[in-house]
Amino acid sequence: MNKIEKRYKELKEIIAYHANLYYNMDEPEISDFEYDMLMVELKNIEREHPELITSDSPTQVIVATGKVDSHFSEVTHQVPLQSLQDVFNTADVVNFMEKIEKVVANPEYVVEAKIDGLSVALEYKKGQFVKGSTRGNGLVGEDVTLNLKTIKSIPQTLSEPIDITVRGEVYLPHKDFERINEERELAGEKLFANPRNAAAGSLRQLDPEVTASRNLAIFVFNIQVSPDITFTSHYESLKYIERLGFVISPFLKRCNTPQEVLAAIDEIGENRGGLAFDIDGAVLKVDSLAQREELGVTTKVPKWAVAYKYPPEKKETILKDIVIQVGRTGALTPVAILEPVRVAGSVISKTTLHNEDFIKEKGLKIGDHVMIQKAGDVIPEVVEVLLDKRDGSEIDFEMPKVCPICGAEAVREDGEAAIRCTGIECPARLFRTIVHFVSRDAMDIEGFGPALVEMMLDKGMLKNVADIYELSLEEIADLDRMGDKSASNLINAIEKSKTNSLEKLINSFGIRHIGLKSAKMLAKNFKDIDALMNASYDELCQINEVGNIMAESIVKFFDNQQTKDLIERLKAVGVNMQSDHKENEDNRFEGMTFVLTGTLPTMSRSEASEIIENFGGKVSGSVSKKTTYVLAGEEAGSKLDKALDLGINVIDEAQFIEMTK
């Protein structure tokens, strides 16, 4: 195999890998531009060596991937949802128009902003929305009707009672993308890479309520089929569906000459940085539907349209300083302070440098001349250092060893890129600390949600989690949307939390690597919080299921003066510090593994899990051949299906209760 054949095979594998991450996993590892450049390289090889082309090449299928999830029903598209040929420079655009003009006379064009989202088809019968599906592989998609019905910009009833199927792009506005990632960070979940992947992940949720909470939107850009209406112009068809109630592209321009087309593409490019949503290019289409018929299509793309992809705009600036921001998770994030420069439509004066490794990898120094660009045209990033412009005045940067906000030790644990503040009282991470402290698996203070925590922090009512136990009825009642009854209920819930078990208190501290299960185990091995606080590293390591990392994390947490002060305050207000654990001699479930799925009639999953563990059993989150029982309730999902496939014993709540008598 020669070098070209080897590279061709390698490119197909790389593109297939990244396409699967993008289309099916919603977790891209590279930018759209990098992916596009891989495709360009592949196409160039195929153009010069057509004998290498194989049927599995990404250029030979409608899309490189796009599998139908087994959780959704398949929908065969009446009209294929094709992709578009990409072009990357003005010469390619001019070449495309020259080819068009060799086939049809006096073509007019329509230029639209290319929204970066998830393509869907919407079907209406007599003006009523009846079915919606994802693009899938272009021929077969997923039925996501219930999820699409949660999108406010999709009309459920059209202004005319017609049969029609339209195609649109579901997207996530920037403000909602930021909100969702903030919520995921607070919940300890993996962040979405960009708005497009957040939109895709949101639309393919099994629970429509989750989709509804994401606040997706849509722009409709094509009539796929309609027996009730005919048009001669794409532009006029879009104006018509706008009258039906659909939201169409915010940038839509009809052009008569190549000069007007190029000007329209430039205009979109100049304004893309100020949009409230992502675009990944501009679309150029022949306007006449009759001329489109004459031009035809290939198996993969129409011959009458192309997608112009803007290159990431790069600008030179100066790295004036690096400052540290402390996030709600306690992570210390270095932020570049830049000489202000305009990039992709907006002025950039600062950007994240992510972590210590990123700074070392780029070789950044304060005072460096650097090149920056907007990743995906949204997030500014430092691309490279201009080493030839260094004059010796540049200053090395080192990450701090203590938190710049509270002075507590800042540590980087093995296997992590982030350096984190260890202070439980740190003002920068106080919101997350309190939200976790009052949550169900921690101190379980009912009615104390994130919105109320944020309101109290804004009013200066909380500077420490212990302040929760000194809140008065009057000051709570004075808050917006509270009142005497709500305030009284909250005070009672706070008072009730003082009697919680030691395991809930341990879990409420949010100790790194210690969750509810580990907290239960610690509460079984220590009679009170003082015994745990004074335990040595070696003593902790002797406990079954406590490893080196957990033991080190526990010792560091309780050795912190802020932790000691907090515990003294909690003791003073009467929070329980004693373990109520009693050795259970009945280990009837020893050696058994249970998996819980669905909603049980009378008990919560946590209650059922506690019963199982008290009888010596284990609770797992996934079904395998080692699973002993699957305890299933209403609306049990894929876990039940897998259990039945593997022949695992499935029981309901009544059978489970009988087993515990």
Catalytic residues: 114
Tokens of 242: 């706008």
Calpha distance 640→8 (Å, rounded): 43
Tokens of 496: 């009730």
Residue 159, judged by CB atoms within 10 A of its CB (0-12, 13-18, 19+), counts as exposed
The candidate with the shortest Cα–Cα distance to 64, out of 21, 4, 96, is 21
Answer for the pair 217, 173: CB distance below 8 angstroms, yes or no.
yes
Tokens of 277: 């949503």
Calpha distance 657→661 (Å, rounded): 7
Answer for the pair 284, 109: CB distance below 8 angstroms, yes or no.
yes
The candidate with the shortest Cα–Cα distance to 318, out of 274, 350, 270, is 350
Answer for the pair 60, 300: CB distance below 8 angstroms, yes or no.
yes
Tokens of 79: 């009209």
Residue 174, judged by CB atoms within 10 A of its CB (0-12, 13-18, 19+), counts as middle
Answer for the pair 408, 421: CB distance below 8 angstroms, yes or no.
yes
Tokens of 543: 């406990």
Calpha distance 123→133 (Å, rounded): 9
Calpha distance 109→628 (Å, rounded): 64
The candidate with the shortest Cα–Cα distance to 558, out of 567, 549, 545, is 567
Buried b (16+ CB within 10 A) or exposed e, 400-434: eeebebbebebbbeeeeebbbbbbbbbebbbbbbb
Measure Cα distances from 110 to 43, 86, 97, 254, 607 in Å: 27, 16, 12, 4, 61
Strands 369-375 and 649-651: unpaired
The amino acid that residue 624 corresponds to is S
Calpha distance 106→197 (Å, rounded): 40
**374 φ, ψ to 5°?**
-100, 115
| Tokens 């373990």 belong to residue | 579
What DSSP assignment string belongs to 544-605? TT--HHHHHHHHHHHHSHHHHHHHHHHHHTT---B---------TTTT-EEEEESB-SSS-H
The candidate with the shortest Cα–Cα distance to 137, out of 282, 299, 306, 14, is 299
List alpha helices for 272-372, DSSP H.
289-295, 356-362
List alpha helices for 150-203, DSSP H.
174-186, 195-203
Answer for the pair 313, 238: CB distance below 8 angstroms, yes or no.
no
Secondary structure class of 7 (helix, strand, coil):
helix
Calpha distance 129→246 (Å, rounded): 12
